[in-house]
Structure 1
């Protein structure tokens, strides 16, 4: 029996027909996995950039808004999420104004007391800063969870010195 099996395999010893098919069959799953990973990572990166742009817009708006804090906060949250103060279209699907946090830091030191570095140009010792942050649970396309990673939460933060009020 071993002799017949050996003779069977020896017939294929110098036969190269079908070798490309075998190579493609071995390599294709890895190439598809790599392509899916690149797509997923680029989508995560794009989503983070959109979140960052929204948070930066909202903090700039808060720094220059001349109305009261509560009115400006609502408008700035809408600006962050929808790209417009009123109405607009969503920057990121599923991102809501409740995921955006706006705070006012009342007494940030204009000069770092430890190093003497001037952090903000100011005629006073303290400045008011609008801080905007957001946390967004990224809805994965499945590759992340398939590879065993947990849920991804994208967080962004930006602050601007308040020029008005």
Structure 2
């Protein structure tokens, strides 16, 4: 026991190596924080790219004057590749395909009569207005788990986006 006290007493006043010990304690936390910031910024960038694609597709569909099926195919290409033709565009987001995009059209009342006084939703000379909606759900990292984030308890992440536009075409 005396030998142990002598060893402890010898190290009590010695400050050599304290910076190394502090760095050994802090470095894993700094690396974890850095990896989290990097991954979060990557998720945010992917979300913004998907939103831009969905908005572009909805605007295209709202102004397209061809048949519904032809416009839908071109709008999906525009959303995914940034161009209406698949051959010339480059993918906005890796793994995001036109199969993950849904395009629908609904007729909406131009005036909401449930409010007093009635609220005009769309400036129109008709009682109903056609509205196109483009939506998608993209599984973030579809081929593997979230890496570091899965160790922290996060499950699968799905990025969803949708956009509506009033139809001017057809």
Give the TM interval when normalised to the shorter protein.
Answer: over 0.9
User: In structure 1, how many angstroms separate the alpha carbons of the residues matched to 2:16 and 2:121?
Assistant: 71
Structure 1: 5+ residue runs without aligned partners?
none
Aligned counterpart in structure 2 of residue 153 of structure 1, from 135, 155, 158: 158
Match of 2:77 in 1: 78
Alignment of 1:13-24 (within 5 A): 13-24=12-23
Q: What is the RMSD computed on CA atoms of the aligned residues?
A: 1.0
Match of 2:39 in 1: 40
Q: 2:98 aligned with 1:97, yes or no?
A: yes
- SS of 1:12's equivalent in the other structure is helix
Q: CA offsets per residue over residues 59-118 of structure 1, 9 Å max, x none?
A: 00000001011100000000000000012010000000000000011x211122333322
TM-score of the superposition, structure 1-length normalised? 0.95
Aligned counterpart in structure 1 of residue 134 of structure 2, from 124, 127, 132: 132
Shift of 1:18: 0.2
Match of 2:168 in 1: 163
User: In structure 2, how many angstroms separate the alpha carbons of the residues matched to 1:31 and 1:113?
Assistant: 57
Match of 1:109 in 2: 109
Contact 2:146 2:156 in 1 (8 A): no
User: In structure 2, how many angstroms separate the alpha carbons of the residues matched to 1:30 and 1:117?
Assistant: 54
Contact 2:110 2:122 in 1 (8 A): yes
Structure 2: 5+ residue runs without aligned partners?
none
User: In structure 2, how many angstroms separate the alpha carbons of the residues matched to 1:110 and 1:14?
Assistant: 81
Total equivalences in the alignment: 163
User: In structure 2, how many angstroms separate the alpha carbons of the residues matched to 1:120 and 1:72?
Assistant: 23
User: In structure 2, how many angstroms separate the alpha carbons of the residues matched to 1:117 and 1:40?
Assistant: 44
Contact 1:99 1:136 in 2 (8 A): yes
